[in-house]
Amino acid sequence: NAGVTQTPKFRILKIGQSMTLQCTQDMNHNYMYWYRQDPGMGLKLIYYSVGAGITDKGEVPNGYNVSRSTTEDFPLRLELAAPSQTSVYFCASREKRDRGQSGANVLTFGAGSRLTVL
């Protein structure tokens, strides 16, 4: 099991460029999330998905788009990159647990993608 895999690990973009951060998980998890972490700060939720074909906005969705065509993949697209989007991006997933099932709804994180916009 690879867990949650993110690519690329590092990327430098120029202002106005676009790119896609890839995220794939092999744990058959229904729920997937994208967070950004600014230096010395906590994690802010960008978008999340509760299953293939379903996505929803988090706290800071502006400037980003997502899609969930398969259970495994949850790419994050940056349109017209801006310096304010310089951050470390983390993808995470968790399985869906119905009420009454024991165990924690644990998030498994990818290693992160460090993006710099100049």
Partner 1 sequence: GQQVMQIPQYQHVQEGEDFTTYCNSSTTLSNIQWYKQRPGGHPVFLIQLVKSGEVKKQKRLTFQFGEAKKNSSLHITATQTTDVGTYFCAGRGFGNEKLTFGTGTRLTIIP
Positions in the binding site for partner 1 (CB under 8 A) = 31, 33, 35, 40-45, 48, 50, 58-59, 90, 92, 104-112
Q: Closest CB to partner 1 among 46 and 117?
A: 46
Q: How far apart are CA 91 and CA 32, in angstroms?
A: 7
Q: Closest CB to partner 1 among 86 and 109?
A: 109
CB of 66 to partner 1, least distance (A): 14
CB of 93 to partner 1, least distance (A): 12
Q: Closest CB to partner 1 among 15 and 41?
A: 41
Q: Using CA of residue 105, residue 107, residue 3, residue 91, what is the dihedral sign?
A: positive
Q: Closest CB to partner 1 among 9 and 77?
A: 9
CB of 101 to partner 1, least distance (A): 12
**Nearest in space to 65 (alpha carbons), one of 52, 49, 50:** 49
CB of 15 to partner 1, least distance (A): 26
Q: Using CA of residue 44, residue 109, residue 80, residue 85, what is the dihedral sign?
A: positive
Residues whose CB falls within 8 Å of the CB of residue 90, separated by 6 or more in sequence, listed in order: 6, 34, 35, 36, 37, 43, 109, 110, 112, 113
